[in-house]
Structure 1
Amino acid sequence: MTIATGAIWARPTWGTFWTWDPRLTTIAIMWLTYAAYLFLRSAVEDPGQRKRFASIYGILAFSSVILTVVIIRLRPDVIHPVVAGPSVTSDSAVGDFNLTPRIAQTVLFNMVAYVLLAVALLWERMRLEARLERLQARKSELLSQL
């Protein structure tokens, strides 16, 4: 979604949808890597083999995350500034999270909202799983009576 909306924003701003910036390119590679992960999980039918392949692929795919984080600190020609931590190539990197109070409040609010959403989804998942287990138990009980 970020790549698509970024391209829409970049067209009027830079005159092109894609600039082949190292950060853009590595994020696109990372996105394709994890899209392939989803395809891999749906392609393997055996659950044990699926778990094994997906876990190995997931560990290897994490290298694209590391590449994305490192490339913006090593390449001097990136168009996006480094905002978290020092940059090897630039003294002008922000890197210290100097947020205005209003933006800090917004970030904190969103973090809390997403944590609460994750907890609610996890709670619902656990509730559904418990109901499924009770249903399976009742089904087994009814079948054993026949």
Structure 2
Amino acid sequence: MATTLAEANKRFVAELNSLIGREVQVVLSNGEVYKGVLHAVDSQLNILLANATAKSGDRYNRVFIMYRYIVHIDSVEKRIDLREFAKYAEKVFPGMVKYVEETNTVLIGDKVRVSEIGVEGVGPVAERAKRLFDEFLKMRGEGA
């Protein structure tokens, strides 16, 4: 199945958005390197890092970086592949679990969303999903 440019663009934006709130390392074209929490990205891919540290050791509360100077952005944090959690959750919620690869999220029913940062939703299914996700993380040694 061929991926269209629109689908590829959607995946790119989803992947970049998944880094918001996470620690990243940004390498610039002049060799400078900053580590910090990706706080915001605009439509032109300019970024804002919070609590950033430069390669020199200088610390900054906020660093705004224009897209044209960015060579690459690396996630510093280890990612959780939620495909495994989807299989685990399917045993408890048969037929209700869907893994969304583009965003690395798991949907349970139509009201619960599980991502690397936690469980979104309310009600009995969400409460059970939260307990299940905590159990899953504990088994993997990333425990809650």
Same-fold call, TM cutoff 0.5: no
Q: Give the TM-score category using the shorter length.
A: under 0.3
> Which structure has more helix as a fraction of its residues?
1
Higher CA-based Rg: 1
> Which structure has more strand as a fraction of its residues?
2
Could you tell me the TM-score, scaled by structure 2's length?
A: 0.25
Could you tell me the TM-score, scaled by structure 1's length?
A: 0.25
